C-alpha cells in the first residue's frame, strides 16, 4: 500500500466530465489499496481569465487582493472535485492552502513556502477520506492569503508529498510524459520512461517548461519521486527520480530547444580587468537574467563580449550596454533577436568522450552554423540561427539514436 499525492493541472479538471474521470481514477487507485491526496489547479484557463479581468477592472492591483482573487480558481476546482468524488461514493473534503497548513512568506503573487504543517490533511486521510487541496496557495506570516505563482500547484504537490512522507508525487497533465525532444518539432520523439532530477533540471533550464522547475528542485532536495503522466490516457508516464549509479546512463537523453532568447554583442572592448564585471553588474542591477556569455580571444588588447538573455529583457540589455559603451571604451553594440539554443542533455556525458565532437559534426553536416557554445557536466548547448533550429534538433535527435523505431 502506497500513499500517493496526485496533482491535476488545469486541463485535467477543465470541466465536469474531466472531474468525473479524475474521480474514477481515484476510485481505481483506492481499490488497488493505495491512499490518495489530491492537489488541484484552477479549471482550464481560469487563472489567465482572472488575471485578465483584474487588468480590465483596475490599473491598481494590490498584491493582497490579486492573491485573494487568483486562489479562488483553485478553491472552485477543489470543491467541485470533492463533489465528483462524493458522487461515486468516495468521501472527500477540500482544504484551502491555509487549511492544509501551507505557511508562506508575504511576497504576494509569488510567495515562498516557509513551512508545511499538514495536520488536517493527515487527519482526513486517517479517517478514510480523500483530502483535496487547492494548489499554489498558502497563508502568509501576516495571515493573508498568498499565491505561490504561476505553475505553483506542482510545488504544492511536491511539498505536500514531502510533508506527508508520500511514496510518490504524480503530476497529471495533458501530455503523456517527458519527451526526448519537442514532439511538435520531432515527430519521432520518444516518451522517456525515466530521467534523473539533474537531467530534468537541465532540460527545464534549456526550454522544457514542464514539470515546473521549482517543483523539480524541491523534489530533488527532498528526494520525492515524481511521475509525470496523462489524465487523458492514464497510462504510465515519465518518472523523474534520483540518478541510479548502478544503471547504465544514456549518453544523451534528450535534445531540448528554446527560441525565447536574444543575443547582444559588445564589440571592441578593451581587454582589461574589471570590464566584464561592470557590464554584468549593470545588467544584474537592471534585473536582466543573463544566460550564456562568451568572450572572444583578444586581439591587440581588444575583444568582443556576447551574451544571451530573454527576449523580453532585450530592450533593457541594450539600454544598459549602450550607456556603458563609452565609459568602457567599446566600439559598438549589436543585437540579434532571432537566435535559438539547442541543447543535448544526458547524465552519461560525464563519462563518455566525443559527445561535443559528434554534436558539432552533426550540425556541420546539416549546414547549421554554431554562434556560441556552453557546457555543463551533463549538457552541451549551441546558439544557432532561429531559422535553422528545427533542422538542428531533428538531425541531433537522429544522430544520437533517439528516434523512436517505427511500430
Ligand atoms: N492555476 C495556477 C496557474 O495556472 C497554478 C497552477 O496551475 O499551478 O498558474
Ligand atoms: Mg495551470
**Span from the CA of 43 to the centroid of ligand 1 (angstroms):** 9
Q: Which residues line ligand 1 (CB under 6 A)?
A: 9-10, 41-42, 47, 73, 135-136, 150-154
302 DSSP β-pair partners: 270, 299
Q: Cβ(183)–Cβ(34) under 8 Å?
A: no
CA distance 30 to 131: 13
Q: Which ligand is nearest to the CA of 14?
A: 2
Question: Which of 74, 111, 146, 153 for mutating ligand 1's site (highest number of atoms within 8 Å of CB)?
Answer: 153
Q: What proportions of the chain, in percent to the nearest 5, are helix, strand and coil?
A: 40, 25, 35
Residue 332 CB: number of other CB atoms within 10 A?
A: 12
Whose C-alpha lies nearest to ligand 1, atom 6? 151
3-state DSSP assignment of residue 328: helix
How many Cα atoms occupy the beta-carbon half-sphere of 280 within 13 Å?
16
Give the model's pLDDT for residue 8.
Answer: 98
Residue 34 CB: number of other CB atoms within 10 A?
A: 16
Give the cell for residue 300. 591587440
Q: Which CATH architecture has domain 263-333?
A: 2-Layer Sandwich (3.30)
Query: What is the pTM assigned to this prediction?
Result: 0.92
Give the model's pLDDT for residue 406.
Answer: 72
Nearest atom, ligand 1, residue 42 CA: 1
CA distance 270 to 136: 48
Give the model's pLDDT for residue 407.
Answer: 63
Residue extent(s) of CATH 3.30.2130.10 domains in the chain = 254-258+339-399
3-state DSSP assignment of residue 224: coil
Query: At 386, phi and psi to the nearest 5?
Result: -60, -35
Match domain 3-174 to its CATH number in 3.30.450.20, 3.90.660.10, 3.40.30.10, 3.40.1160.10.
3.40.1160.10
Give the model's pLDDT for residue 250.
Answer: 84
Question: Which of 41, 51, 110 for mutating ligand 1's site (highest number of atoms within 8 Å of CB)?
Answer: 41
CA distance 44 to 41: 8
CA distance 172 to 157: 11
Nearest atom, ligand 1, residue 148 CA: 5
Q: Digits of tens for pLDDT over the chain (407 positions)?
A: 899 999 999 999 999 999 999 999 999 999 999 999 999 999 999 999 999 999 999 999 999 999 999 999 999 999 999 999 999 999 999 999 999 999 999 999 999 999 999 999 999 999 999 999 999 999 999 999 999 999 999 999 999 999 999 999 999 999 999 999 999 999 999 999 999 999 999 999 999 988 999 999 999 999 999 999 999 999 999 999 999 877 777 899 999 999 999 999 999 999 999 999 999 999 999 999 999 999 988 888 999 999 999 999 999 999 999 999 999 999 999 999 999 999 999 999 988 899 999 999 999 999 999 999 999 999 999 999 999 999 999 999 999 999 998 76
Residue extent(s) of CATH 3.40.1160.10 domains in the chain = 3-174
Domain 254-258+339-399 has CATH 3.30.2130.10: yes
Residue extent(s) of CATH 3.30.70.260 domains in the chain = 263-333
Amino acid at each position: 500500500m502506497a500513499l500517493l499525492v496526485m496533482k491535476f493541472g488545469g486541463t485535467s479538471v477543465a470541466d465536469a466530465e474531466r472531474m468525473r474521470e479524475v474521480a474514477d481514477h481515484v476510485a481505481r487507485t483506492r481499490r488497488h489499496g493505495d491512499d490518495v491526496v489530491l492537489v488541484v489547479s484552477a479549471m482550464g484557463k481560469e487563472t489567465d481569465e482572472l488575471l485578465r479581468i483584474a487588468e480590465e477592472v483596475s490599473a491598481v492591483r494590490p498584491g493582497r487582493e490579486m492573491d485573494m482573487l487568483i486562489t479562488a480558481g483553485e478553491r472552485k476546482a477543489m470543491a467541485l472535485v470533492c463533489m465528483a468524488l462524493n458522487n461515486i461514493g468516495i468521501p472527500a473534503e477540500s482544504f484551502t492552502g491555509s487549511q492544509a497548513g501551507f505557511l508562506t512568506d508575504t511576497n504576494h503573487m509569488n510567495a515562498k513556502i516557509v513551512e508545511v504543517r499538514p495536520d488536517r490533511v493527515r487527519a482526513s486521510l486517517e479517517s478514510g477520506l480523500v483530502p483535496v487541496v487547492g494548489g499554489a496557495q498558502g497563508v502568509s506570516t501576516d495571515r493573508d492569503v498568498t499565491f505561490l505563482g504561476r505553475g505553483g500547484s506542482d510545488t504544492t504537490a511536491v511539498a505536500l508529498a514531502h510533508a506527508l512522507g508520500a511514496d510518490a508525487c504524480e503530476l497529471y497533465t495533458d501530455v503523456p510524459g517527458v519527451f526526448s525532444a519537442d514532439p511538435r518539432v520531432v515527430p519521432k520523439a520518444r516518451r522517456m520512461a525515466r530521467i534523473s532530477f539533474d537531467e530534468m533540471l537541465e532540460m527545464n533550464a534549456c526550454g522544457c517548461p514542464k514539470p515546473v522547475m521549482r517543483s523539480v528542485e524541491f523534489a530533488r532536495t527532498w528526494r520525492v519521486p515524481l511521475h509525470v503522466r496523462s489524465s487523458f490516457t492514464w497510462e504510465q508516464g515519465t518518472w523523474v527520480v534520483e540518478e541510479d549509479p548502478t544503471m547504465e546512463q544514456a549518453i544523451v537523453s534528450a535534445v531540448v530547444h528554446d527560441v525565447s532568447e536574444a543575443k547582444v554583442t559588445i564589440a571592441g572592448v578593451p581587454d582589461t580587468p574589471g570590464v566584464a564585471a561592470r557590464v554584468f553588474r549593470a545588467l544584474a542591477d537592471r534585473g536582466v537574467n543573463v544566460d550564456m556569455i562568451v568572450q572572444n580571444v583578444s586581439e591587440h588588447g581588444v575583444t568582443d563580449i556576447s551574451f544571451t538573455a530573454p527576449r523580453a529583457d532585450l530592450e533593457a540589455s541594450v539600454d544598459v550596454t549602450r550607456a556603458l559603451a563609452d565609459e568602457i571604451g567599446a566600439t559598438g553594440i549589436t543585437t540579434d533577436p532571432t537566435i535559438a539554443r539547442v541543447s543535448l542533455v544526458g547524465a552519461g556525458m560525464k563519462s563518455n568522450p566525443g559527445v561535443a565532437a559528434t554534436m558539432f559534426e552533426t550540425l556541420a553536416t546539416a549546414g547549421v552554423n554554431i554562434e556560441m557554445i556552453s557546457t555543463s557536466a551533463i549538457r552541451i548547448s549551441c546558439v544557432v540561427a532561429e531559422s535553422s533550429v528545427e533542422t538542428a534538433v531533428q538531425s541531433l535527435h537522429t544522430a544520437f539514436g533517439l528516434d523512436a523505431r517505427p511500430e
